[in-house]
Amino acid sequence: MINKKALGSTLLLTAGFVLHINAAVAEDKALAASGADSVMLGNTCAGCHGTNGSSFGPASPSIAGMGKDTLVDAMKAYKEGTRSGTIMNRIAQGYADADFEAMGDFFSKQTLLVSAQNADAAKADAGRKLHKEYCEKCHVEEGTKDEDGAGVLAGQWMPYLHYAMEDFQSGAREMPKKMQKRIEKMVQKEGDGAIDNVIHFYGSRK
Amino acid sequence: MTQITRRNFLKLSASTAAISFSGIPFIAKGEGKKVVVVGGGVGGATTAKYIRMADPSVEVTLIEKNADYHTCFMSNEVLNGDRSLDSIKFGYDGLGKHGVKVVIDEVTAIDAATKKVTTAKSGDFTADRIVVSPGVGFKWDAIEGYDEKASETIPHAWKAGPQTALLRKQLEEMADGGTVVICPPTSPFRCPPGPYERASQIAHYLKNNKPKSKVLILDASDKFSKQGLFTQGWKELYGYDIEQNGKNEGSLIEWRPASGGGKVVKIDATTKTVTAGEMEDVIKADVLNVIPPQVACKIAHQAGLTNESGWCPVNKQTFESSVHKGVYVIGDACIATDMPKSAYSASSQAKVCATAVIASLQGKEMVTPAYVNTCYSIIGPNYGISVTAVYRLEGETITQVSGGLTPADATPEQKAREVHYAYSWFANITHDIFG
Ligand SMILES: Cc1cc2nc3c(=O)[nH]c(=O)nc-3n(C[C@H](O)[C@H](O)[C@H](O)COP(=O)(O)OP(=O)(O)OC[C@H]3O[C@@H](n4cnc5c(N)ncnc54)[C@H](O)[C@@H]3O)c2cc1C
């Protein structure tokens, strides 16, 4: 299989055949699975995401209880650069798909420990209604359950949710088409504060 | 979606075979086995906790000389007044909840052959395995005029706690127009970006409180960790001219590399003067912070775990000492090339080590290890940068397979986010260690 990066180096390298072979080998090497098991891999993430994936905040997302496929897709997107991040892109490049599967196995089995956040009660109340109307279809059970790759929103750290929404809206992160429509409709009908309200609703989970 | 690749298929059939050979899965436990952990810092506390999390039948005793642990990480924020000393203080109650027996005492000797650990006041402890994570010790004879006694007035603040408080106090008492001199050591040392983060944090304090003052870095080296990002940040926040190493008028930071007269020759603790460089320039400091060159902490030497470098050689798959069987060394004290001496490294090594200790107690083979390191540095308000690495064991080295620095063209928004993620890292890693 010819992958994009290896092809890139073929086109770029004019220094000769030997160099090109080396580049291709390096590429293959980077893609091999690490061979480490799910616990070993999962434990390396705890420093930033919390022990077993439940983050103590104030911003790093919890990844405990994330659906396996959601996590795998997120890691692949970070690795390929199709999803923006401050640091995950650099980290994801160190693993192969099999590693992502192992991480997905580990974190999908963990129970999310929710930390209390300073959510504004009035905003959260308004957010609950907005959620029901515009988001519940995909972010089911008030955003507590990851179904079909939409992630767990309830109990997630609010600064992270703000960053995610900012990136979706600026185009830095690709937003699912149907979600985009819902968001646009919500903002249009309910005003700019709507997103903030929904985020406070997710942050109000105890 | 999952494809059965050739490799997966082989793995699948191999594990099926294992089950059918042994019938019911054989669960070996470390029942009745004892592990003593020396040092309750990042590496030691994490290992103790993770052994108990993976196999609660193992008896784990952690021996630490101080009842409170102050993290070095985020201690630079104590220096500028943004953070209290209490906010970097942690106790050992959390480990007790995991069933770790915590003994507050100093370990005075480790007999590797008989696996006996001797303490100052609490007697002897014997173990099946010993894990040692004592951190760094200082080479007190490396810089003329700077010894342990001198550090009582000229702080190193490279172990957090009273030293951090002393340096903070001196910064507060300094009059505007003063010079803060920081002397980073030769490599390898604990936290390679640490001295430069410290210079940044102090510059931030000076900028807001004593704007006629400056920070002068007299460096034992010619380059430093995350140099490009640091100097970029200094330029943006503290008037630093990269071309001139900050010698320009108005720069709050000046960096003098070893080749530019930065190498410290001697210290006079009573007058706070530093003699540096081939020309033996004499520099008068108002606040002086000397970070001495480092080796593994004293107890590692006593136990015979070090080699000629002053650090402890280990098997990098297990962190078992290359000198003494059944004794494991992790964290700053061990030679974990290419991992830097950092808290994230120590934490990552601790988890590999915990797995290896359990495997060895249960008579099983050690699995493939995985390691990660990240160091965040906060240069100023809303200005964070990071370096990260994912490693694999390749032969004798822990080889970096991905990672790198915050991109040079990161937006202000990304740098602001990195500060929030740095705080999150602090909250999560300290909970992972002590919670
Ligand atoms: C200013 C500064 C900033 C830093 N910032 C970062 C950062 O942002 N990110 C990062 O990843 N790392 C950072 N670090 C590095 C980090 O603090 C160390 O790498 C980490 O603490 C190493 O863990 P350790 O277990 O090896 O040693 P330590 O955490 O130092 O633990 C050693 C413990 O052993 C105990 N001990 C030693 N001898 C004995 C004995 N004989 N008997 C009983 N107990 C004993 C000590 O009291 C100590 O508690 C920073 C360091 C400094 C100085």
Cα-to-centroid distance, A4 and ligand 1 (Å): 43
Residue B284 sits at φ, ψ, to 5 deg, of -95, 120
Q: Which two tokens stand for residue B216?
A: 């002068």
**Whether A133 and A166 share a structural domain:** yes
Q: Kindly state whether residue A1 falls inside one of the protein's structural domains.
A: no
Q: Which atom of ligand 1 is nearest to the CA of B75?
A: 1
**Whether A98 and A138 share a structural domain:** no
Q: Of A59, A77, A108, which residue is a domain's last?
A: A108
DSSP states of A163-189? HHHHHHHHTSSPPPHHHHHHHHHHHHH
Is residue B126 a contact partner of residue B34, using CB atoms and an 8 Å limit? yes
Length of chain A in terms of residues written: 206
Give residue A184's identity as a one-letter amino acid code: E
**Whether A45 and A80 share a structural domain:** yes
Q: Does A30 touch chain B (CB under 8 A)?
A: yes
Give residue A99's identity as a one-letter amino acid code: D
pLDDT above 80 for A27: no
CATH number at residue A146: 1.10.760.10
Summarised one tens digit per residue, pLDDT across range A127-172 is 999 999 999 999 999 999 999 899 999 999 999 999 999 999 999 9
Q: Residues B193-215, buried b or exposed e (16+ Cβ, 10 A)?
A: bbbbbbbbbbbbbbbeebeebbb
Name B180's bridge partners.
Answer: B215, B287
B435 contacts A58? CB cut-off 8 A: no
**Whether A137 and A86 share a structural domain:** no
Q: Kindly state whether residue A154 falls inside one of the protein's structural domains.
A: yes
Of all protein residues, the one whose alpha carbon is nearest to atom 5 of ligand 1 is: B73
pLDDT above 90 for B5: no
**Whether A79 and A135 share a structural domain:** no
Cβ burial of A127 (10 Å; 0-12, 13-18, 19+) is buried
Neighbour order of strands in the sheet with B281-284: B264-268, B273-276, B281-284
Instruction: Give percent of chain A with pLDDT exceeding 90.
Output: 83
Residues of B with Cβ-Cβ distance to A57 under 8 angstroms: 424, 427
Rounded Cα distance between B384 and B420, Å, is 8
**Whether A102 and A128 share a structural domain:** no
Summarised one tens digit per residue, pLDDT across range B159-185 is 999 999 999 999 999 999 999 999 999
User: To 10 degrees, what angle do helices B412-434 and B42-54 make?
Assistant: 60
Rounded Cα distance between B44 and B76, Å, is 23
Give the closest of B368, B423, B428 to A47, CB-based: B428
Rounded Cα distance between A189 and A167, Å, is 21
Q: Is the CB of B137 under 6 A from ligand 1?
A: no
Give the closest of B369, B374, B403 to A47, CB-based: B374
- The residue of chain B with its CA nearest to that of A84 is B414
pLDDT above 50 for B3: no
Cα-to-centroid distance, A98 and ligand 1 (Å): 34
SS3 at position A52: helix
Instruction: Give percent of chain B with pLDDT exceeding 90.
Output: 92
Give A113's DSSP letter. Answer: P
Q: Is the CB of B40 under 6 A from ligand 1?
A: yes
Rounded Cα distance between B54 and B28, Å, is 12
B424 contacts A48? CB cut-off 8 A: yes
Rounded Cα distance between B173 and B251, Å, is 21
Interface test mutation site (partner B, options A86, A108, A167, max chain B beta carbons within 10 A):
A86
The pLDDT confidence band at residue A192, using thresholds 50, 70 and 90, is confident
**Whether A125 and A165 share a structural domain:** yes
**Whether A74 and A133 share a structural domain:** no
**Whether A101 and A171 share a structural domain:** no
Rounded Cα distance between B321 and B305, Å, is 7
How confident is the model at residue A21, as a pLDDT?
A: 32
Full 3-state SS string of chain B: CCCCCHHHHHHHHHHHHHHHHHCCCCCCCCCCCEEEEECCCHHHHHHHHHHHHHCCCCEEEEEECCCCEECCCCHHHHHCCCCCHHHHEECCHHHHHCCCEEEECCEEEEECCCCEEEECCCCEEECCEEEECCCEEECCCCCECCCCCHHHCCCCCCCCCHHHHHHHHHHHHCCCCCEEEEECCCCCCCCCCHHHHHHHHHHHHHHHHCCCCEEEEECCCCCCCCHHHHHHHHHHHHCCCHHHCCCCCCCCEEEECHHHCCCEEEEECCCCEEEECCCCEEEECCEEEECCCEEECHHHHHCCCCCCCCCEEECCCCCEECCCCCEEECHHHEECCCCCCCHHHHHHHHHHHHHHHHHHHCCCCCCCCCEEEEEEEEEECCEEEEEEEEEEEECCEEEEEEEEECCCCCCHHHHHHHHHHHHHHHHHHHHHHHC
Q: Kindly state whether residue A23 falls inside one of the protein's structural domains.
A: no
Q: Of A108, A140, A171, which residue is a domain's last?
A: A108
Q: Kindly state whether residue A16 falls inside one of the protein's structural domains.
A: no
Rounded Cα distance between B314 and B306, Å, is 10
Q: Which of B193, B232, B199, B227 is nearest to B214 (CA)?
A: B199
Summarised one tens digit per residue, pLDDT across range A30-58 is 569 999 999 999 999 999 999 999 999 99
Min CA distance, B385 vs chain A (Å)? 9
Number of domains in chain A: 2
pLDDT above 80 for B7: no
CB atoms within 10 A of CB B423: 19
CB neighbours of B131 closer than 8 A, spacing ≥ 6? B35, B36, B37, B38, B44, B47, B48, B327, B328, B329, B330, B353, B357
**Whether A127 and A154 share a structural domain:** yes
B355 contacts A87? CB cut-off 8 A: no
The domain in which residue A148 lies consists of 121-204
**Whether A101 and A157 share a structural domain:** no
How confident is the model at residue B17, as a pLDDT?
A: 35
Q: Is the CB of B311 under 6 A from ligand 1?
A: no
Q: Kindly state whether residue A102 falls inside one of the protein's structural domains.
A: yes
Q: Which region among A7-11, A24-28, A108-112, B199-203 has the lowest average model confidence (pLDDT)?
A: A7-11
pLDDT above 80 for A5: no
SS3 at position A59: coil
- The residue of chain A with its CA nearest to that of B434 is A51
Q: Is the CB of B75 under 6 A from ligand 1?
A: yes
How confident is the model at residue A31, as a pLDDT?
A: 67
Cα-to-centroid distance, B133 and ligand 1 (Å): 9
pLDDT above 70 for A187: yes
Name B70's bridge partners.
Answer: B89
Q: Is the CB of B158 under 6 A from ligand 1?
A: yes
- The whole-number average pLDDT for the span B228-249 is 98
Q: How many CB pairs (< 8 A) connect A and B? A: 126
Give residue A102's identity as a one-letter amino acid code: A
Prediction pTM value: 0.93
Q: Kindly state whether residue A80 falls inside one of the protein's structural domains.
A: yes
Give the closest of B368, B390, B414 to A95, CB-based: B390
Mutation test residue for ligand 1: of B62, B332, B388, B429, the one with most atoms within 8 Å of CB? B332
Q: Is the CB of B79 under 6 A from ligand 1?
A: no
Is residue B263 a contact partner of residue B277, using CB atoms and an 8 Å limit? yes
Q: Kindly state whether residue A145 falls inside one of the protein's structural domains.
A: yes
**Whether A135 and A200 share a structural domain:** yes
What's the distance, Cα to Cα, between the start and end of chain A in Å?
48
CB atoms within 10 A of CB B94: 17
Q: Kindly state whether residue A199 falls inside one of the protein's structural domains.
A: yes
How confident is the model at residue B28, as a pLDDT?
A: 56
Q: Is the CB of B389 under 6 A from ligand 1?
A: no
A47 contacts B432? CB cut-off 8 A: yes
- The whole-number average pLDDT for the span B350-362 is 98
Q: Of A108, A130, A159, which residue is a domain's last?
A: A108
Rounded Cα distance between B44 and B357, Å, is 13
Q: What is the mean pLDDT of chain B?
A: 94
- The whole-number average pLDDT for the span B287-315 is 98
Q: Is the CB of B63 under 6 A from ligand 1?
A: yes
Cα-to-centroid distance, B339 and ligand 1 (Å): 15
